Amino acid sequence: MFGIGLPELIVIMVVALLVVGPSKLPELAKSLGKALSEFRRMADEVKGTIEEEMTEAETPREEKPPDVAVEEAYSGETPGETEQHAQNTNGEQHTKIPEGGTLRG
C-alpha cells in the first residue's frame, strides 16, 4: 500500500498517537477512512466515464453512401420525412403565402 511497509506504518501510528492523543485517534481514523473512501469512489467514477467514452469512440458509426448523405444535408429532411410529407398532401394544392403574410383576393 503506497510503498509503505509494516515498520514505517508502525512509526506513523506511534507519531499520530503522540500528536493527536489517544482520545482523538479513533475520530481521526474514522474521518481519514471516509475521505479515502470518497476519493476511491470519485476515482472509480472518473475511470468509468473515461472507459465509457473510449468504448463509444471505438464503436463504428453507420456510414451512408455519399449521395444519400449529400441529399440529406441539402434538403434538411431525411428521405422518410419527404415521403411522409408527400403522402400527407394526397395531391392537394396548397396556396403559397406571400412574404407580407396575408392573402389578398
**Tens of pLDDT, residues 23-66:** 888 898 899 899 999 999 999 999 999 999 998 888 777 776 77
**Helix %, strand %, coil % of the chain (to 5):** 65, 0, 35
User: Which one is predicted more confidently, 103 or 46?
Assistant: 46
Is the full-model pTM beyond 0.75? no
3/32 Cα distance (integer angstroms): 18
Q: What is the mean pLDDT of residues 61-90?
A: 65
Q: Which residue has the cell 472509480?
A: 44
Residue 34, pLDDT score:
95
Q: Which residue has the cell 472507459?
A: 51
